Amino acid sequence: MNLPVFGLDEITRAVDPAAVLDAVRQTLIAHTHGRTTVPPPMHLEFADADGDSHVKAGYIHGAKDFTVKVASSFYRNPAIGLPSNQGLVCVFDARTGQARAVLDDGGMLTGWRTAAAGALVTDALAGSGVESVGVIGTGQQAELQIAWLAKLRTLPEVRVTGRTEARAADLCERLARHGIPARPAPLAETAGSSVVITATAATAPVLAAEQVSAGAHITAIGADMPHKNELPPELFRRAALIVTDDHRQCLEHGDLAHAVRAGTVEDSSDISIGRVLEDPAAWLTSGISIADLTGIGALDAAVAAVVVDALLG
Protein backbone atom coordinates (compact mmCIF):
# COMPACT_ATOMS: atom_id res chain seq x y z
CA MET A 1 0.00 0.00 0.00
CA ASN A 2 1.21 3.48 -0.76
CA LEU A 3 1.78 5.67 2.26
CA PRO A 4 -1.36 7.82 2.70
CA VAL A 5 -1.15 11.58 3.14
CA PHE A 6 -4.14 13.32 4.71
CA GLY A 7 -4.84 17.04 4.46
CA LEU A 8 -6.49 19.30 7.00
CA ASP A 9 -10.00 18.95 5.56
CA GLU A 10 -9.99 15.17 5.81
CA ILE A 11 -8.45 15.34 9.28
CA THR A 12 -11.05 17.84 10.49
CA ARG A 13 -13.90 15.71 9.16
CA ALA A 14 -12.53 12.53 10.73
CA VAL A 15 -11.63 13.77 14.17
CA ASP A 16 -13.95 13.38 17.14
CA PRO A 17 -13.14 16.04 19.77
CA ALA A 18 -14.37 13.75 22.55
CA ALA A 19 -11.82 11.13 21.49
CA VAL A 20 -9.06 13.78 21.37
CA LEU A 21 -9.98 14.98 24.86
CA ASP A 22 -9.95 11.44 26.17
CA ALA A 23 -6.59 10.64 24.55
CA VAL A 24 -5.03 13.86 25.85
CA ARG A 25 -6.36 13.19 29.35
CA GLN A 26 -4.94 9.64 29.35
CA THR A 27 -1.60 10.87 27.98
CA LEU A 28 -1.20 13.64 30.54
CA ILE A 29 -1.75 11.00 33.23
CA ALA A 30 0.71 8.59 31.52
CA HIS A 31 3.27 11.42 31.31
CA THR A 32 2.91 12.06 35.05
CA HIS A 33 3.78 8.43 35.71
CA GLY A 34 6.79 8.37 33.36
CA ARG A 35 5.03 6.22 30.78
CA THR A 36 5.97 8.46 27.85
CA THR A 37 9.16 8.94 25.81
CA VAL A 38 9.79 12.50 24.68
CA PRO A 39 13.36 13.15 23.42
CA PRO A 40 14.67 16.73 23.55
CA PRO A 41 13.35 18.52 20.43
CA MET A 42 15.58 19.45 17.48
CA HIS A 43 15.72 23.03 16.33
CA LEU A 44 16.82 24.55 12.99
CA GLU A 45 17.07 28.24 12.21
CA PHE A 46 16.78 29.79 8.75
CA ALA A 47 17.98 33.31 9.37
CA ASP A 48 17.89 34.33 5.69
CA ALA A 49 14.19 33.46 5.48
CA ASP A 50 13.19 34.60 9.01
CA GLY A 51 12.08 31.07 9.78
CA ASP A 52 12.65 28.29 12.25
CA SER A 53 11.68 24.69 12.55
CA HIS A 54 11.14 22.41 15.56
CA VAL A 55 11.13 18.64 15.34
CA LYS A 56 9.43 16.77 18.18
CA ALA A 57 8.96 13.07 18.71
CA GLY A 58 6.65 11.36 21.14
CA TYR A 59 5.72 7.88 22.25
CA ILE A 60 3.25 6.70 24.89
CA HIS A 61 4.52 3.41 26.29
CA GLY A 62 2.41 0.54 25.06
CA ALA A 63 0.70 2.62 22.34
CA LYS A 64 0.66 1.20 18.83
CA ASP A 65 1.99 4.39 17.19
CA PHE A 66 4.73 6.90 17.65
CA THR A 67 4.98 10.26 15.93
CA VAL A 68 7.59 12.64 14.59
CA LYS A 69 6.30 16.16 14.10
CA VAL A 70 7.93 18.95 12.12
CA ALA A 71 6.50 22.36 13.01
CA SER A 72 7.90 25.44 11.33
CA SER A 73 7.21 29.15 11.44
CA PHE A 74 8.30 31.29 8.50
CA TYR A 75 7.29 34.84 9.28
CA ARG A 76 7.54 36.24 5.75
CA ASN A 77 5.09 33.69 4.32
CA PRO A 78 1.96 35.84 4.65
CA ALA A 79 3.55 38.37 2.27
CA ILE A 80 3.51 35.69 -0.44
CA GLY A 81 0.09 34.32 0.48
CA LEU A 82 1.23 31.32 2.55
CA PRO A 83 0.48 30.60 6.22
CA SER A 84 3.37 31.27 8.61
CA ASN A 85 2.88 27.92 10.31
CA GLN A 86 3.93 24.90 8.29
CA GLY A 87 4.54 21.31 9.18
CA LEU A 88 3.81 17.63 9.02
CA VAL A 89 3.06 14.88 11.50
CA CYS A 90 4.45 11.47 10.53
CA VAL A 91 2.82 8.51 12.27
CA PHE A 92 4.73 5.23 12.62
CA ASP A 93 3.77 1.80 13.89
CA ALA A 94 5.58 1.36 17.23
CA ARG A 95 5.80 -2.43 16.73
CA THR A 96 7.44 -2.41 13.27
CA GLY A 97 8.61 1.15 12.58
CA GLN A 98 6.55 1.22 9.38
CA ALA A 99 5.08 4.57 8.41
CA ARG A 100 1.28 4.46 8.73
CA ALA A 101 0.38 7.92 7.48
CA VAL A 102 1.54 11.48 7.00
CA LEU A 103 -0.73 14.22 8.33
CA ASP A 104 -0.34 17.43 6.34
CA ASP A 105 -2.23 19.34 9.00
CA GLY A 106 -0.83 22.87 8.78
CA GLY A 107 -0.07 22.74 12.50
CA MET A 108 -3.72 22.15 13.51
CA LEU A 109 -3.00 18.98 15.53
CA THR A 110 -0.67 21.01 17.72
CA GLY A 111 -3.46 23.54 18.13
CA TRP A 112 -5.92 20.84 19.13
CA ARG A 113 -3.71 19.05 21.62
CA THR A 114 -2.77 22.37 23.23
CA ALA A 115 -6.45 23.34 23.39
CA ALA A 116 -7.47 19.97 24.79
CA ALA A 117 -4.79 19.99 27.50
CA GLY A 118 -5.67 23.54 28.51
CA ALA A 119 -9.42 22.89 28.49
CA LEU A 120 -9.05 19.73 30.60
CA VAL A 121 -7.03 21.40 33.33
CA THR A 122 -9.15 24.56 33.28
CA ASP A 123 -12.31 22.48 33.60
CA ALA A 124 -10.79 20.37 36.38
CA LEU A 125 -9.72 23.34 38.50
CA ALA A 126 -12.47 25.87 37.73
CA GLY A 127 -14.90 24.26 40.16
CA SER A 128 -18.66 24.46 39.83
CA GLY A 129 -19.34 28.10 40.55
CA VAL A 130 -17.81 29.83 37.56
CA GLU A 131 -19.39 33.25 37.30
CA SER A 132 -17.13 34.68 34.64
CA VAL A 133 -14.52 33.54 32.12
CA GLY A 134 -11.88 35.84 30.66
CA VAL A 135 -9.36 35.28 27.88
CA ILE A 136 -6.31 37.42 27.19
CA GLY A 137 -5.09 36.98 23.64
CA THR A 138 -7.07 36.93 20.40
CA GLY A 139 -5.24 34.47 18.15
CA GLN A 140 -6.10 30.95 17.08
CA GLN A 141 -5.08 29.36 20.38
CA ALA A 142 -7.18 31.83 22.39
CA GLU A 143 -10.16 30.80 20.25
CA LEU A 144 -9.39 27.09 20.62
CA GLN A 145 -8.96 27.28 24.41
CA ILE A 146 -12.47 28.70 24.77
CA ALA A 147 -14.02 26.49 22.09
CA TRP A 148 -12.62 23.30 23.64
CA LEU A 149 -13.51 24.38 27.17
CA ALA A 150 -17.07 24.85 25.89
CA LYS A 151 -17.04 21.15 24.89
CA LEU A 152 -16.54 20.32 28.58
CA ARG A 153 -18.91 22.77 30.30
CA THR A 154 -21.42 25.51 29.54
CA LEU A 155 -19.72 28.90 29.66
CA PRO A 156 -21.05 32.26 30.83
CA GLU A 157 -20.44 35.20 28.47
CA VAL A 158 -16.67 35.28 27.79
CA ARG A 159 -14.68 38.48 28.35
CA VAL A 160 -12.00 39.03 25.71
CA THR A 161 -8.99 41.33 25.97
CA GLY A 162 -6.46 41.77 23.17
CA ARG A 163 -3.81 44.24 22.11
CA THR A 164 -6.55 46.22 20.34
CA GLU A 165 -10.32 46.31 20.74
CA ALA A 166 -10.67 45.42 17.04
CA ARG A 167 -8.79 42.16 17.61
CA ALA A 168 -10.91 41.41 20.65
CA ALA A 169 -14.10 42.07 18.65
CA ASP A 170 -12.83 39.77 15.91
CA LEU A 171 -12.31 36.90 18.37
CA CYS A 172 -15.79 37.50 19.80
CA GLU A 173 -17.22 37.08 16.29
CA ARG A 174 -15.28 33.85 15.79
CA LEU A 175 -16.50 32.55 19.17
CA ALA A 176 -20.06 33.44 18.23
CA ARG A 177 -19.71 31.10 15.25
CA HIS A 178 -18.99 28.32 17.81
CA GLY A 179 -22.19 29.39 19.58
CA ILE A 180 -20.24 30.93 22.46
CA PRO A 181 -21.34 34.39 23.68
CA ALA A 182 -18.39 36.77 24.13
CA ARG A 183 -17.70 40.50 24.36
CA PRO A 184 -14.56 42.68 24.40
CA ALA A 185 -13.70 43.79 27.92
CA PRO A 186 -11.06 45.96 29.59
CA LEU A 187 -8.08 44.14 31.03
CA ALA A 188 -9.07 44.70 34.67
CA GLU A 189 -12.44 43.04 34.09
CA THR A 190 -11.02 40.10 32.14
CA ALA A 191 -8.16 39.55 34.58
CA GLY A 192 -10.62 39.64 37.47
CA SER A 193 -12.77 36.78 36.11
CA SER A 194 -13.34 33.52 38.01
CA VAL A 195 -11.43 31.74 35.23
CA VAL A 196 -8.70 33.48 33.22
CA ILE A 197 -6.93 31.98 30.22
CA THR A 198 -3.84 33.61 28.74
CA ALA A 199 -2.88 32.62 25.21
CA THR A 200 -0.45 35.20 23.90
CA ALA A 201 3.12 35.42 22.62
CA ALA A 202 3.91 37.93 25.38
CA THR A 203 7.42 38.41 26.75
CA ALA A 204 6.24 40.35 29.81
CA PRO A 205 3.27 39.73 32.16
CA VAL A 206 -0.12 40.41 30.53
CA LEU A 207 -1.89 41.07 33.83
CA ALA A 208 -0.99 42.30 37.33
CA ALA A 209 -1.09 39.89 40.29
CA GLU A 210 -3.45 42.16 42.21
CA GLN A 211 -5.98 42.11 39.32
CA VAL A 212 -6.63 38.41 39.89
CA SER A 213 -9.62 37.60 42.11
CA ALA A 214 -9.34 35.49 45.25
CA GLY A 215 -10.28 31.92 44.35
CA ALA A 216 -9.71 32.38 40.61
CA HIS A 217 -8.22 29.74 38.34
CA ILE A 218 -5.64 30.84 35.72
CA THR A 219 -4.49 28.72 32.77
CA ALA A 220 -1.39 30.10 31.02
CA ILE A 221 -0.72 28.69 27.55
CA GLY A 222 1.62 31.13 25.81
CA ALA A 223 5.02 30.75 27.47
CA ASP A 224 6.90 27.91 25.82
CA MET A 225 10.35 29.48 25.45
CA PRO A 226 12.59 31.06 28.11
CA HIS A 227 12.01 34.63 26.90
CA LYS A 228 8.21 34.31 26.87
CA ASN A 229 6.20 35.28 29.93
CA GLU A 230 2.49 35.86 30.61
CA LEU A 231 2.07 35.69 34.39
CA PRO A 232 3.81 37.94 36.96
CA PRO A 233 6.00 36.14 39.54
CA GLU A 234 3.98 37.80 42.30
CA LEU A 235 0.87 35.86 41.21
CA PHE A 236 2.68 32.60 41.93
CA ARG A 237 3.32 33.77 45.49
CA ARG A 238 -0.47 34.29 45.87
CA ALA A 239 -1.31 30.85 44.42
CA ALA A 240 -2.62 28.02 46.60
CA LEU A 241 -2.01 25.48 43.81
CA ILE A 242 0.47 25.45 40.89
CA VAL A 243 0.05 22.82 38.20
CA THR A 244 2.41 22.11 35.28
CA ASP A 245 2.24 19.84 32.22
CA ASP A 246 5.94 18.99 32.57
CA HIS A 247 7.85 20.00 35.68
CA ARG A 248 11.28 20.32 34.05
CA GLN A 249 10.04 22.07 30.91
CA CYS A 250 8.07 24.60 32.94
CA LEU A 251 11.12 25.26 35.11
CA GLU A 252 13.11 25.93 31.95
CA HIS A 253 10.74 27.89 29.77
CA GLY A 254 7.30 28.25 31.33
CA ASP A 255 5.87 31.04 33.45
CA LEU A 256 6.97 29.06 36.50
CA ALA A 257 10.59 29.62 35.43
CA HIS A 258 10.19 33.39 35.79
CA ALA A 259 8.58 33.02 39.24
CA VAL A 260 11.31 30.66 40.48
CA ARG A 261 14.02 33.00 39.18
CA ALA A 262 12.27 35.93 40.87
CA GLY A 263 12.21 33.93 44.12
CA THR A 264 8.44 34.13 44.67
CA VAL A 265 8.09 30.31 44.75
CA GLU A 266 10.31 27.27 45.27
CA ASP A 267 11.25 25.16 42.24
CA SER A 268 9.33 22.23 43.76
CA SER A 269 6.08 24.10 44.33
CA ASP A 270 4.16 22.53 41.42
CA ILE A 271 2.26 19.29 40.89
CA SER A 272 1.58 17.69 37.52
CA ILE A 273 -1.58 18.11 35.48
CA GLY A 274 -1.83 14.34 35.27
CA ARG A 275 -2.25 14.08 39.03
CA VAL A 276 -5.03 16.67 38.93
CA LEU A 277 -6.82 14.88 36.10
CA GLU A 278 -6.68 11.57 37.95
CA ASP A 279 -8.75 13.02 40.78
CA PRO A 280 -9.87 16.63 40.11
CA ALA A 281 -12.09 16.91 43.19
CA ALA A 282 -9.10 16.31 45.47
CA TRP A 283 -7.32 19.41 44.16
CA LEU A 284 -10.09 22.00 44.16
CA THR A 285 -9.03 24.95 46.27
CA SER A 286 -10.69 28.09 47.55
CA GLY A 287 -7.42 29.90 46.82
CA ILE A 288 -5.91 30.87 43.46
CA SER A 289 -4.83 28.00 41.21
CA ILE A 290 -2.44 28.36 38.26
CA ALA A 291 -1.90 25.89 35.41
CA ASP A 292 1.31 26.48 33.41
CA LEU A 293 1.47 24.62 30.08
CA THR A 294 4.49 24.37 27.79
CA GLY A 295 3.36 21.54 25.49
CA ILE A 296 4.61 17.96 25.52
CA GLY A 297 5.48 15.81 22.51
CA ALA A 298 3.58 12.78 23.77
CA LEU A 299 0.34 14.70 23.19
CA ASP A 300 1.21 14.89 19.48
CA ALA A 301 1.38 11.10 19.46
CA ALA A 302 -1.92 10.86 21.32
CA VAL A 303 -3.83 13.13 18.96
CA ALA A 304 -2.22 11.74 15.82
CA ALA A 305 -3.22 8.23 16.89
CA VAL A 306 -6.84 9.31 17.27
CA VAL A 307 -6.77 10.92 13.82
CA VAL A 308 -5.08 8.02 12.06
CA ASP A 309 -7.35 5.45 13.68
CA ALA A 310 -10.36 7.45 12.51
CA LEU A 311 -8.96 7.81 8.97
CA LEU A 312 -7.59 4.32 8.48
CA GLY A 313 -10.11 2.49 10.66
DSSP bridge pairs for 5: 102
Q: Give the E-state strand segments of the chain in sequence order.
A: 5-7, 36-37, 42-46, 51-60, 65-74, 85-93, 99-104, 133-136, 158-161, 182-184, 195-198, 217-220, 239-244, 270-272, 288-292
Cβ neighbours, 10 Å, residue 108 = 20
181 scored as a contact of its own copies (CB under 8 A): no
Total residues contacting its own copies by CB under 8 A comes to 43
Q: Closest approach of Cβ 58 to its own copies, in Å?
A: 9
Q: Closest approach of Cβ 39 to its own copies, in Å?
A: 4
Q: Among 20-28, 62-70, 232-240, 253-261, which window interacts with its own copies (CB under 8 A)?
A: 62-70
List the interface residues with its own copies, window 102-141 (CB under 8 A).
102, 104
47 versus 282: smaller Cβ distance to its own copies: 47
Closest CA to 238 of 219, 269, 204, 264: 264
282 scored as a contact of its own copies (CB under 8 A): no
List the interface residues with its own copies, window 294-313 (CB under 8 A).
none
Among 15, 28, 60, 94, binds its own copies (CB under 8 A): 94
The SS3 call for residue 118 is helix
* Chain center to CA of 200: 11
Q: What are residue 102's phi and psi, to 5 degrees?
A: -115, 130
Give the Cα separation of 311 and 155 in Å (integer).
Answer: 31
- Parallel/antiparallel/unpaired status of strands 182-184 and 239-244: unpaired
Name the amino acid, one letter, at 171: L
Among 8, 22, 29, 86, binds its own copies (CB under 8 A): 86
List the interface residues with its own copies, window 25-54 (CB under 8 A).
37, 39-46, 48-49, 51, 53
Per DSSP, 3 falls in state P
14 scored as a contact of its own copies (CB under 8 A): no
Q: Are 107 and 300 in contact (CB under 8 A)?
A: no
Give the Cα separation of 17 and 32 in Å (integer).
Answer: 23
123 versus 246: smaller Cβ distance to its own copies: 246
100 scored as a contact of its own copies (CB under 8 A): no
- Parallel/antiparallel/unpaired status of strands 288-292 and 217-220: parallel
Among 17, 22, 73, 169, binds its own copies (CB under 8 A): 73
Give the Cα separation of 287 and 274 in Å (integer).
Answer: 20
7 versus 186: smaller Cβ distance to its own copies: 7
80 versus 214: smaller Cβ distance to its own copies: 80
Q: Among 17-25, 64-72, 113-121, 225-233, which window interacts with its own copies (CB under 8 A)?
A: 64-72
Q: Closest approach of Cβ 68 to its own copies, in Å?
A: 5
Among 9, 80, 227, 268, binds its own copies (CB under 8 A): 80
Q: Which residues lie closer than 8 Å to 57 by C-beta, 6 or more apart?
A: 37, 38, 39, 66, 67, 68, 69, 297
Q: Among 75-83, 232-240, 249-257, 286-294, which window interacts with its own copies (CB under 8 A)?
A: 75-83
Per DSSP, 67 falls in state E
Instruction: Write out the residues near its own copies by the rule CB under 8 A.
Output: 2-3, 5, 7, 37, 39-46, 48-49, 51, 53, 55, 57, 59, 62, 66, 68, 70, 72-74, 77, 80, 82, 86-88, 90, 92, 94-99, 102, 104
